[in-house]
Structure 1
Amino acid sequence: MITKLSKQLQGKTILALANRNPLTTCRLTKEEREEVYTFKVLKVARRYMDIIELDKKFPIEGRYTADGISEGNIKSGYVRDSTFRFFESLEDIDHWKLITKQRRELADFFSRGADGLNDDQVLAIHKMIFKGDKHVSTKA
């Protein structure tokens, strides 16, 4: 997942998943929520990157932070939920989905969140507890 902006992103193609914020995605189908968006990074500044969606008739374009928050949301004071999560490759998306699923399973197992753990800790603890079993989260 892209967590910091750097000039190396300029001119590259990046991928994004829509944030699962219920306020913004409640009208979307599951397929639309799981859609991978493809963006071209036009310019990278200190706080924002200018991006445009590729291969769309009406592309999304704008200025976003590495956290996926648009410049307009920041200026209006609405920064609680980001619009996108940005990734450099499909492998990064698959890894993020795996970690997110396992983090949810650990939260279910311990009846509390596992937000304070880094990715390596989540993988190690999940492996110790479930020993490779296909554990299914009780939460949707």
Structure 2
Amino acid sequence: MESKRQQKMASLLQQELAQVLQRDLPHLFGGGLVPSISAVNVTPDLAVARVYLSLLLGNDAAERVAIIREHTKEIRFALGKRIRKQARVVPELNFFHDDSAAYAAHMDQVLSKLDIPPAPPEDEDGEADQPERPRLFN
């Protein structure tokens, strides 16, 4: 369970990192789509932040995350300039690919392929025809 302090720092980092990647350092992506930040988790001492990037388009997610990891110092420096009034120390940034959107699309596809039989018809009084269950107590 995250403390309020961790949640506030994670929210601040998520907003400011998005601004850094979109406005300050878009050249890192070679004119391609800038990844969105789906989540940020901060350790209790606020020293390390795990940043989850959502890379929706393209199959080169591993390459794009590797590029971001190579430029972590540059990203952290730009982030530090933006949050210097709100945070005493800029946390160490660890970037990870968030594939939850792809997983959700896969699960949606799996569920759409299921053959689910229709529900049994209902009687006039609104109850479905079901076999009578044995009574446990009289």
TMscore range, shorter length: under 0.3
**Higher Rg of the two aligned structures:** 2
Structure with the largest fraction of strand: 1
- TM-score normalized by structure 2? 0.27
Structure with the largest fraction of helix: 2
